[in-house]
Chains A and B, each alone.
Chain A
Amino acid sequence: MAAEERKKEEKGRFIAERRYVDDQRIVEPEKLEAGGVDMSGRWGTLVLPRTIEEFDHSLFEGVKRLPRGGKVGKCWQCGNCTAVCPVAHANPMFNPRYLIHIVRMGYQAEIEKVKDYVYLCSGCGLCSAACPKDVDPQGVMIALSIAFKSGRAKGGR
């Protein structure tokens, strides 16, 4: 698709400060009506706040029960995994340390934003060799990819 066309179809493209707002925060209703008033599209658009209002560990608990995800609870966010990760050097959206933390705390908007990048993991295993706490981040990435695929990204419910 040409860049022009992509821009036309971009969600919430009419928001003046669009580039400060993550896609995940924009709710642009295709069809919305109340009291006989049409509020579809721009008229009914909401921008959800950035504020984290809840810590939800259900996805995290689910990951712990998946193959190779069992040791994720040991992670203390030192960042050794990302420091050695060859993919993270190329793509800022793939960050094993960050993925583990947002899953642990259940930061839904952040998970939605980066979850598809988990599949970029090349499986090289450098992270698991570097991890001082024996978290096995490479294994955790596999467990996360299963969790996201099986719809557990919505808090396992």
Chain B
Amino acid sequence: MPEVIRVSKKEDLEISKEDLKFLEGLGADRRAKLAMGTTEDYLRMLEKMKDLEKRGEITIHHVTDEYEPAGVRTLSRRVKKIPTVELWQHKSCGQCGHIPGYISALYWVMTELGIPYVDDTNQTSCTAWNYYGSGTSNPVALSAVFLRNMHAAWEKNAYPLIHCGTSYGDYKECRYLVVMSREIRDRVRSILKKIGRDLVIPEEVVHYSEWLHVMRWKIAERRKLDVSKVSVAVHAACHTYKLMAEDFTYDDTVLGGKKPAPTSSTALALGAKLLDYSNWYDCCGFGFRHILTEREISRSFAYFRKIRPIVRETGADVLLTHDTGCVTTLDKSQVVPLAHGYKETVPVMSDSQFAALAMGAHPFIVCQLQWHLADWKPLLAKMGVDWASAEGEYKAYLERVRNGERPAFIRSPPRNLENRVRGESA
């Protein structure tokens, strides 16, 4: 016998008892799989995290005053605390491998601003790329890797700052899973126990572009080059603002608060001209697995759906983004089309490299633009950098490094701190 049930304020549904049971089962399944959907779910997760801490089930790595936090608005309109000092640099595999200037520029900026940070050698990959790329791994393994790294930061008394968009998105999701699912929590705990660690969940998962966002005025104060004539297009990484969308930074004064603020805000603070374009929300072409399994489509998408429209519509001098995969895909994907005779090209770099350049960092020793394939020479010329003589300096520097000199801006890896976990060596 069909009966009428109320689906929402606006909708009644006539449905048989069997179908109702089936649909309820489906709904329960979905909830059991933790479909991460609504802002309410997300806020509920944050509440539950506090409960778990009260009950002693987990430790929360709070963004305490020692991290000198700054508040930002997120899409959920919640204020998120961004730590500004004592940062634990959570590096990115692709970043170190493909665009090392990304990371050295960030370190250089922090050193210039006198920000204490930890560049720990005791960090693993988040393994999320593997998960996206091949469908291997599973929520428990991913969560265990996430918490292992968070614990490593916590025991060094430093706050994790995630460089990679994919790690950042993955960690936001993993945190949700760990908090909301007892089963995952229990299984992760038993894994962590084996390596002498425990559940330490960060109060905020923070991406480095959010740090640049809150530090942008300090960075602008130290600007050495005039970039007011430089026009900038920004690509925001899907993994930062489309995964757990409610947890990324928005600012009413940047792009009308309609698009994510980081990177755009940094460019604006430095005085560059920010340009909009029609495919702003589109992926860079990296995809989730496409860069690995469908390179032809990935590079074609990057060029035809991002680079070409951006160049045609904005004529921007540089394309800034804030994720390893995006910089790599957008930069390297220009090579084949250019060989085919397509003309549109734009240099691509991270916001940290652009900020460092504007602050007077060396384009090769610090920003390592020599690794970037799309032609950056016109950009440097426009910024007033004599790239030819910089190249000479770089060659001399390489010679000195060959003879044993240590790069000044790279710190000794582990900071000599006392472990929080007494009696156990990390």
Contact = CB atoms under 8 A, between A and B. Distances in A.
A15 to B, nearest CB: 5
B336 A46 contact: yes
19 contacts: A14-B296, A15-B294, A15-B297, A17-B294, A17-B297, A26-B296, A29-B340, A32-B339, A33-B339, A34-B335, A39-B335, A39-B336, A43-B336, A46-B299, A46-B337, A47-B297, A47-B300, A49-B301, A49-B305
A2 interface: no
In which size bucket is the chain B interface? 10 to 19
Given A16-B297, A32-B336, A48-B300, 15 more contacts: A15-B296, A16-B293, A16-B294, A17-B297, A27-B340, A29-B340, A32-B340, A33-B339, A34-B338, A44-B336, A47-B297, A49-B300, A49-B301, A49-B304, A49-B305
Interface of B: 293-294, 296-297, 299-301, 303-305, 335-340
Interface string A17-44: 1000100001101001110000100111
A46 B334 CA distance: 11
A140 B392 CA distance: 67
A58 interface: no
Contacts of B305: 49, 51
A27 B336 CA distance: 11
A14 B301 CA distance: 17
A16 B294 CA distance: 6
Contacts of A15: 294, 296-297
A45 B296 contact: yes
Leading 10 A-B pairs by shortest Cβ distance: A34-B339, A47-B300, A45-B296, A49-B304, A16-B294, A46-B300, A16-B293, A47-B297, A15-B296, A44-B336
Nearest to A15: B296
A12 interface: yes
Given A49-B304, A49-B305, A44 B340 contact: yes
